[in-house]
Chain A
Amino acid sequence: MSRPAQLCTFTVADTLLGLEVEHVQEVLRFHEMARVPLASDTIEGLINLRGQIVTAIDMRRRFSLPPRQEDQRPMNVVLSPSHGSVSLLVDDIGDVLDLDDQAMESPPATLDPAYHDLIRGVYKLDGRLLLMLDPTKAIDLAAPETA
């Protein structure tokens, strides 16, 4: 039985990533952030989202990638409230894609461990691969971070 899945897609340093739309509350442009000294590097800051305080997690840092260029402002992918008030900072937002979850394969065993833990599977698109993010693991900073 195939089940269609709707994925919200975004890119982080040329990697195409996707999240099931149920996990995403909204997508926002860059917001002013308040730094959190002493917190893990991955936490970029706190955002005021209509009176709610949202913690922004930089996906580049999460994947141990080089930081963005100074003039490149990240976009926010705010996760649904069940994940707590968390936003993922990504480079660019893509389309919402309808995909058949039969087309998903488990990530290759040889995948960089920095990715492996956070990825649920890989979709084969035309000429491109889409990595499906595991939202719970992506925001669980207590899990061992691979350098």
Chain B
Amino acid sequence: MNLVGELVLTRNQIVQHTASDPSSTLAATSQRLNLITSDLQEGVMKTRMQPIRNVWSKFPRVVRDLTAACGKRATLVMEGEDTELDRTILEAIKDPLTHMVRNSVDHGIESVEERVAAGKPAEGTLKLRAYHEGGQVNLELIDDGHGINVDRVKEKAIERGLLTRDKAGRMSEREALQLIFLPGFSTAAKVTNVSGRGVGMDVVRTNIEKIGGTVDIQSAKGEGTTLRIKIPLTLAIIPTLLVTVDGCRFAIPQVSLIELVRLEGERARDAIEEVHGTPVYRLRGELLPLVDLRGELGLRPRPAAGPIATSEADETTGAELSLNIVVLQADDRQYGLIVDSVNDTEEIVVKPLSQQIRDIPVYAGATILGDGRVALILDSIGIAKRAHVLDDQHGHKQARAEAAVEAPAPLRTGDIETLLLLDLDENRAAIPLSSVARLEEIPVAEVEQSGDFLVTQYRDRIMPLVWLGRAKSRAGQRLPDSDERLQVIVHASGDQCVGLVVDRIHDIVDASVVIERTTNRADTLGSAVVQGRVTDLLDIAGIVHRAIPGLARQAASRAEGARS
């Protein structure tokens, strides 16, 4: 198999060389070589391909035995048994698939009495489907059982200390379902010899991911559960997209590629909006976080002006400005990777990296391209983690955001909130009105210095001032000695007031907040579209805590003192 890979690579090189000099008989020979190699590759691949039936064939028996043991009734329906997969992949999915089938029968399908009571046919149906889709194989396991009880999943996760109750409350159904993939998780009330040991889905997921696949789960209460596995056809030779950044070429596996977006001319400059300094792009109405590959890899920034400028290639040819975004999938998220130019697709053979550079997570390996040069293969998930599109741990995506929220009324996605809109460094930002005590205008002359802080007298007490946004830097310098007045939002933290100084207060609106976490920046809870503009929701408690670390402690000790 490796030999065929090598042959394909060498063929690529020869074909590319002779293409530049089409005169000789060499060109004809290389063309023949090209054809023969393709045939040989196909032939070898074909001999390695086996129908999935080989693995599935024992499942009817597994289901029959299990249903008999559990006192249930179920039939197994199989579709696409002739779908072919590489032998090594078949080996790898055999155990995870068996486990999933057992799980479905044991947890998914109800007992006959329950099914009849729920108005379903007494006999449950378990459906296995396999089909090709864009260089990948999809495997589905669909049961028509009672589905996964999301509340129970959360309950169990809390019990096992995998989740705090607070977090569970804010978790979406989809995120909660991902919990079952955590190690040590089981919802089974008792351990049977069938399942319930809690080693199941975690291992399934690890095994599938090891061969470059993904597992997804969907469940509707009372209607059933669908498990979907996506796996690559073969491991040895993978199709990739080549991109160029700052003269370096990189290969991106097409498995993680979703689409390419090219913005030209004015659009290249205007379509990119910023959320607190982080670029985002509206892709069909959804916010897509953007990651600049140059920045992420520590390469030279793009030459032209602006936060994200034009690609080099276009500049030299004098063509219009353009911006190439490669939309990638990383786990269940999408993000846009900004590259200088998109070159071509090429089938490559993955080669491992040497020990000195193996630990860099953004690379999945290296390969040799048709022109004989080496290119690194990018790992979409590695980049996402590095750019903080994804957090390091699966299933804990909101952890950071939630740790920062201590506000009395935490923002909840989808709730109607009254927001105070303000301008912050040309960006729109918002604060929930519930964390605003008063709005004040304070003459600059009344600001005094106390230790490291700037303070003012407010209602016979000393109120520290915190500057938001870029105005922050101004606070450190000398005070503007004009007759200017500061716009101050008074925020009460315990019995202590803090003044937040902002550039301009805009408006107060009622809005249904759909928080989209486009970044993991400190100071913001996320962003939402309010009045047609991308608006950052500020994490007031976090900002105050960071600006004046002693404050919370002070307030606590004062409260303590008052009680005793």
CA distance A110 to B363 in the complex (A): 40
Which B residues touch A40, using CB under 8 A? 356
Asked if residues B355 and A84 are in contact (CB atoms below 8 Å), the reply is: yes
Q: Is B532 an interface residue (CB 8 A)?
A: no
- Among the 9-residue stretches B75-83, B310-318, B372-380, B418-426, the one with 4 or more Cβ atoms under 8 Å from chain A is B372-380
Which A residues touch B299, using CB under 8 A? 37
Asked if residues A39 and B374 are in contact (CB atoms below 8 Å), the reply is: no
Given the known A-B contacts A34-B373, A48-B372, are A84 and B297 also in contact in the complex, defined by CB atoms under 8 Å?
no
Which A residues touch B372, using CB under 8 A? 32, 48
Given the known A-B contacts A46-B366, A48-B372, are A34 and B248 also in contact in the complex, defined by CB atoms under 8 Å?
yes
Given the known A-B contacts A37-B297, A38-B362, A53-B366, are A48 and B357 also in contact in the complex, defined by CB atoms under 8 Å?
no
Q: Is B298 an interface residue (CB 8 A)?
A: yes
Which A residues touch B355, using CB under 8 A? 84
Given the known A-B contacts A46-B374, A48-B368, A48-B372, are A36 and B357 also in contact in the complex, defined by CB atoms under 8 Å?
yes
Asked if residues A141 and B356 are in contact (CB atoms below 8 Å), the reply is: yes
Partner of B373 from A32, A38, A43, A54 at Cβ < 8 Å: A32
CA distance A88 to B351 in the complex (A): 20
Q: Is B545 an interface residue (CB 8 A)?
A: no
B385 to chain A, nearest CB (A): 13
CA distance A36 to B360 in the complex (A): 10
Asked if residues B248 and A35 are in contact (CB atoms below 8 Å), the reply is: yes
- Looking at B6, B9, B297, B357, the one whose CB has the most chain A CB atoms below 10 A away is B357
Which B residues touch A8, using CB under 8 A? none
Partner of B354 from A33, A38, A85 at Cβ < 8 Å: A85
Asked if residues B373 and A39 are in contact (CB atoms below 8 Å), the reply is: no
Asked if residues A57 and B374 are in contact (CB atoms below 8 Å), the reply is: no
Q: Is A55 an interface residue (CB 8 A)?
A: yes
Q: Is A108 an interface residue (CB 8 A)?
A: no
A104 to chain B, nearest CB (A): 28
Asked if residues A38 and B297 are in contact (CB atoms below 8 Å), the reply is: yes
Given the known A-B contacts A46-B374, A48-B368, are A39 and B9 also in contact in the complex, defined by CB atoms under 8 Å?
no
Instruction: Give B359's nearest chain A residue, CB to CB.
Output: A142
CA distance A45 to B247 in the complex (A): 13
Asked if residues A86 and B10 are in contact (CB atoms below 8 Å), the reply is: no
Given the known A-B contacts A37-B297, A37-B298, A53-B351, are A47 and B357 also in contact in the complex, defined by CB atoms under 8 Å?
no
Given the known A-B contacts A51-B10, A53-B366, are A38 and B356 also in contact in the complex, defined by CB atoms under 8 Å?
no
Asked if residues B373 and A48 are in contact (CB atoms below 8 Å), the reply is: yes
Q: Is B99 an interface residue (CB 8 A)?
A: no
Interface residues in A23-68 by Cβ distance below 8 A to B read: 32-40, 43, 45-48, 51, 53-55, 57
Q: Is B129 an interface residue (CB 8 A)?
A: no
Instruction: Give A37's nearest chain B residue, CB to CB.
Output: B297
Q: Is A122 an interface residue (CB 8 A)?
A: no
CA distance A78 to B373 in the complex (A): 18
Asked if residues A48 and B374 are in contact (CB atoms below 8 Å), the reply is: yes
Q: Is B17 an interface residue (CB 8 A)?
A: no
A85 to chain B, nearest CB (A): 5
- B positions within 8 Å CB-CB of A: 6, 9-10, 247-249, 297-299, 351, 353-357, 360, 362-363, 366-368, 372-376
**Contact sample, A vs B, 8 pairs, CB 8 Å cutoff:** A34-B375, A35-B248, A36-B376, A38-B362, A45-B374, A46-B366, A48-B374, A55-B353
List 9 other contacts, CB 8 Å, given A33-B374, A37-B297.
A32-B373, A36-B363, A39-B356, A43-B356, A46-B374, A48-B372, A51-B9, A51-B10, A86-B356
